[in-house]
Amino acid sequence: MDLFTEDIALKSHKAIKDSVDNISLNEGLDNNKLNVLINILKNDGRKNVIALGTKLQRSKDKIIKEIERVKTMYNFDKSFGDYKYVAGVDEVGRGPLAGPIVACAVILDISTLEEELILGINDSKKVSEKKREELSIIIKEKALAYNISVSSNEEIDNKGIAYSNNKIFLEACNSMAIIPELVLSDGYLVKGIQIENKAVIKGDTKSACIAAASIVAKVYRDNLMKEYAKQYPQYHFEDNVGYGTSKHIECLKKYGPCSIHRMSFLTKILQF
């Protein structure tokens, strides 16, 4: 059933509802056609059909709001000057008791048309796991370049978390297929970088490129910790991804640390 061409008045509520549910507002529907459809639904004599029109209107308003939010993030990245290649870099896993720290750098096409914006990008912690997985695939497909860098728990213990964090920032930015003209880093500047660098406080909520990097890094590390969970099931890494939850700490005290625990992070928890 094509709601845009058929006479809705002759159709059942169920048929109309099924068709409305199949409308994807993310696919760049003609705004005028959509407005006409919403008006037809709202002017139908049946209350349940009117409700479908109201629901569709809310969905449309939500998409418009999201487009404006994400457009602001892209514009933020463009606001630093006439750069073609702007990278955002972010890390995930600075605080856990186990597993690596992971950084990702992403270069998006910040001059893209509105219909090509990657909707949903945000601080990875504000995005559901399912949505992060979907977005990570889209980001990697649409990115001009991206790179993921990892520092192991052994390196964190030997060199310190600050060293490891900065090292993977450098590696991620310097190892992309395209070398960026500007690097936007979340929170603080990257030490020793030879590319122009601007630090952005809470960058994963302001910058499209940093938000994209945050999501790709988060998905990569979470999936890595799920694999470790198969090897070390007693620590429930699939749930805590290495963070010091009460259940994780209980397991540490019961079983002791495993090979991916950061021993330098455990001195206040375990007595060696």
Please check whether residue 121 is in contact with residue 135, taking contact to mean a CB–CB distance below 8 angstroms.
yes
Please check whether residue 16 is in contact with residue 52, taking contact to mean a CB–CB distance below 8 angstroms.
yes
- Whether the pLDDT of residue 111 is over 50: the answer is yes
Residue 268's pLDDT is: 83
Q: Facing residues of 19 across strands?
A: none
Residue 25's pLDDT is: 66
For the whole model, what pTM was predicted? 0.87
User: pLDDT tens for residues 214-262?
Assistant: 999 999 999 999 999 999 999 999 999 999 999 999 999 999 999 999 9
CA-based nearest residue to 41, from 18, 61, 17, 24: 17
Residue 203's pLDDT is: 95
The confidence band for 99, taking pLDDT boundaries of 50, 70 and 90, is very high
90 known member of a binding site: yes
State the DSSP code for 190. P
Residue 1's pLDDT is: 43
Which stretch of 20-29, 43-52, 214-223 has the lowest confidence by average pLDDT? 20-29
Residue 143's pLDDT is: 97
CA-based nearest residue to 124, from 220, 223, 214: 214
Higher pLDDT, 84 or 56: 84
CA 43, chain centre distance (Å) = 39
Superfamily of segment(s) 86-223: Ribonuclease H-like superfamily/Ribonuclease H (3.30.420.10)
Higher pLDDT, 45 or 156: 156
91 known member of a binding site: yes
- Whether the pLDDT of residue 19 is over 90: the answer is no
Residue 26's pLDDT is: 63
- Please give the backbone phi and psi of residue 199, each rounded to the nearest 5 degrees, phi first: -90, 140
186 known member of a binding site: yes
SS3 state of residue 198: strand
- Whether the pLDDT of residue 2 is over 70: the answer is no
What is the pLDDT averaged over residues 187-212?
96
Burial class (CB within 10 angstroms; exposed 0-12, middle 13-18, buried 19+) of 207: buried
Residue 114's pLDDT is: 83
> Domain limits of the chain?
8-73, 86-223
